A and B are shown apart, each in its own frame.
Chain A
Amino acid sequence: MRQYIIRRLLQVLPIVFLVATTVFFLFKLIPGDPATVFAGEQASPATIARVRERLGLDQPVIVQYWRYLQRLVKGDLGTSFINGMEVIDLVKARFPNTIRLAFISTILSAFFGVSIGMISALKRETIVDYLLTVVALLGISIPIFWLGLMLIYVLSVQLSILPIAGASSWKNYIMPVCTLSAVSVASILRITRSSILEVISEDFVRLARAKGLKETRVVFRHVLPNALIPVVTVVGLQFGYMLGGSIITETIFSWPGMGRMLVVAVNQRDVMVVQGVLIVFATSFVLVNLIVDIVYALIDPKISYS
């Protein structure tokens, strides 16, 4: 097992390298001169030239690329053009907030998605099942910015029971978590339902009943462990999507996380910050997938580690 994990970790390196490379060249393609942004719109051409030299932007692209990689290996993501702070420090300050929000949302989505999906499957083709299916469809199709704004309008503006913005108390988590989880709960619910329905008609489940087991034991010992295997992948993917979803959610709720930082940086044309955030996001996404794969290997005995 350890060897499997190490091997999978080594496979991550080339992907991260590819991500870093793509991000770098993407920014070379974007029109606009970072040195101008850095020096300010009013700066004289001489100042801009000096800045360009200091940032190494006067060098050939390939040299810039090489230096960029060298810095990256050391964990140096450059400095912000706007406030001169180390990007890595900005990330360190904001990323935990984003992760915390995504993590709480994932855990809650998984819990509610799986339990509601289970109820839906066990009550299949009853009014309960139909209602839950409609709710799930709503959850998947509502645009999350609309949901976020509606929550703010009703709960903060009209009823004044929840704070609109910030991350200072647990109350601040409620609306962002709901907004971020809506799609995930619905997706997890649907995959859980269909997966349970598939497993429940299998021979081994019928045989489990023929062995004289109680229905709860049949469900929890035989149906769920099999039905949840594909659900794990979806939960992992949802965590990844939540990193993306954090961009909208954090902006709506003024959440001090990396998603909002990215939006602000884009507006300010703060190239280094945007670059750094993208690399961190992409790397996290790859790592989440790695973790999902490892969990998958742990719970499915049919996957051997060699």
Chain B
Amino acid sequence: MGDLLSVHDLETRFRTREGIVHAVNGVSFQLKKGETLGIVGESGCGKSVSVLSMLRLIPTPPGRIVAGRVMYQGKDMLKMTDDGIRHIRGSKISMVFQDPMTSLNPVMKIGQQVSEPLVVHEGLGRKQAFDRAAEILELVKIPNAKDRLNDYPHQFSGGMRQRVVIAMGLICNPQILIADEPTTALDVTIQAQITELIKKIRDELGMAIIWITHDLGVVAGLADRVVVMYGGLIIEEAPTKMLYDNPSHPYTIGLMESLPRMDKTRARRLTSIEGIPPVLMENPRYCPFAPRCKFVVSRCRHERPQLLPIGEDGHHVACWLDPHTGRENE
């Protein structure tokens, strides 16, 4: 099928003092070579846990991946040996986290941190690794990169640190870069710069990107395809333009309606839908959106709708109703 990466029925839970948190409840999606996939959804819907589970970076305990397959190069990453998955992490698939202030080791020099993946994956010597680090730091537009290799993270601003983290992710030339809200913690102007930077690098290097965000505005300009998550599930998936032109899940429709007319980036956060996000204390055997949905019918409260193709190419929705006609889907 030409999928670079495919995730099937991924389920991850956390054992907490209050009970079991069903963070991810059967997520499936595919990523093609060079494609940019956006994952959107409000806070706590399981975006981070989904991607962390793929690379088995969930803290265990309390977390546990209870089901699913993550196929990469014909192998299931969830069943690989520890060594096997280690060779993929940071070399074939790398990550950038939300908060650049906490993503770097405060007592290790930047040069060492950035070159570390090269040292462990390609066995490069210190000198060569540092040269490559300087190059890659230049690529992410760190001024005087060569002279900054011996600096420590606290000597960099937030935006610059995120550039460093991105450089670290890119140094082994990965096939996939997973960016988990890489700009959320930054100023608006810096956000735009970082987004532009990643876009430019993607076009140069041709890697695939999974971009997680709250911000529908950012995704519109960046992603080829978008999946929308709610309550640990994917509730809609479509090519970006199709999703914006024809949102078909009541939750997605709500999101689009809450988008202000352009500008005001800040206000585009997905917070303006009525009701509160679900607490994932039980595995939803029904539609997780039912408590907040204006179209809810009795079936919604008893049966969980599957993510099924509707009409156009590649458009999938998990809902019992067709919200445009009000008729029940079959």
Partners in one complex: yes
Known A-B contacts A207-B97, A229-B107, A302-B154; the reply to A212 vs B86 at CB < 8 A is yes
Q: Which residues of B contact A201 (CB under 8 A)?
A: 59
Whether B88 lies near A212 (C-beta < 8 A) is yes
Segment of B98-106, B131-139, B192-200, B248-256 in the binding face: B98-106
In the complex formed, the residue of B with least CB distance to A125 is: B61
Q: How far is the CA of A217 from the CA of B168 in the complex (A)?
A: 17
Q: How far is the CA of A207 from the CA of B106 in the complex (A)?
A: 13
Q: How far is the CA of A208 from the CA of B106 in the complex (A)?
A: 12
A214 at the interface (CB under 8 A from B): yes
Q: Kindly identify, within residues 228 to 255 of chain B, every residue whose CB is under 8 Å from any CB belonging to chain A.
A: none
Query: Min CB distance, B327 to chain A, in Å?
Result: 45
Q: How far is the CA of A65 from the CA of B91 in the complex (A)?
A: 72
A289 at the interface (CB under 8 A from B): no
Q: How far is the CA of A208 from the CA of B86 in the complex (A)?
A: 11
Whether B86 lies near A214 (C-beta < 8 A) is yes
Q: Is the interface of A mostly helix, strand, loop or mixed?
A: helix
Q: Which residues of A contact B89 (CB under 8 A)?
A: 209-212
In the complex formed, the residue of B with least CB distance to A202 is: B102
Whether A299 lies near B107 (C-beta < 8 A) is yes
In the complex, number of A-B residue pairs with CB atoms less than 8 Å apart:
75
Known A-B contacts A212-B117, A212-B120; the reply to A204 vs B104 at CB < 8 A is yes
Segment of A52-60, A218-226, A246-254 in the binding face: A218-226
Known A-B contacts A210-B90, A213-B120, A222-B105; the reply to A203 vs B152 at CB < 8 A is no
Q: Which residues of B contact A299 (CB under 8 A)?
A: 107
Whether B86 lies near A210 (C-beta < 8 A) is no
Name which of A203, A207, A229, A301 has the most chain B CB atoms within 10 A of its CB.
Answer: A207
Whether A211 lies near B116 (C-beta < 8 A) is yes
Known A-B contacts A211-B94, A217-B120; the reply to A302 vs B106 at CB < 8 A is yes
Interface size class of chain A, counting residues whose CB lies under 8 Å from the partner chain: 20 to 34
Q: Which residues of A contact B102 (CB under 8 A)?
A: 202-204
A33 at the interface (CB under 8 A from B): no
Q: How far is the CA of A212 from the CA of B55 in the complex (A)?
A: 10
In the complex formed, the residue of B with least CB distance to A214 is: B86
Known A-B contacts A211-B117, A213-B116; the reply to A222 vs B108 at CB < 8 A is yes
The contact of A203 among B88, B97, B154, by CB within 8 Å, is B97
Q: How far is the CA of A165 from the CA of B154 in the complex (A)?
A: 53
Q: How far is the CA of A204 from the CA of B95 in the complex (A)?
A: 11
B87 at the interface (CB under 8 A from A): yes
Q: Which residues of A contact B91 (CB under 8 A)?
A: 212
A300 at the interface (CB under 8 A from B): yes
- 7 shortest interchain CB distances as A-B pairs: A212-B90, A211-B90, A212-B89, A203-B102, A301-B152, A210-B95, A204-B105
What are some 8 contacts across the A-B interface (CB < 8 A)?
Answer: A203-B102, A207-B104, A210-B95, A213-B116, A221-B105, A229-B107, A301-B107, A302-B106
Which residues of A are at the interface with B, using a C-beta cutoff of 8 A?
Answer: 125, 201-204, 206-215, 217, 221-222, 225-226, 229, 299-302
Supply 20 further A-B pairs (C-beta < 8 A) apart from A211-B120, A301-B152.
A202-B102, A203-B97, A203-B99, A207-B95, A207-B97, A207-B165, A207-B168, A208-B116, A209-B57, A210-B90, A212-B89, A212-B90, A213-B90, A213-B120, A221-B108, A222-B108, A226-B107, A299-B107, A301-B107, A302-B152
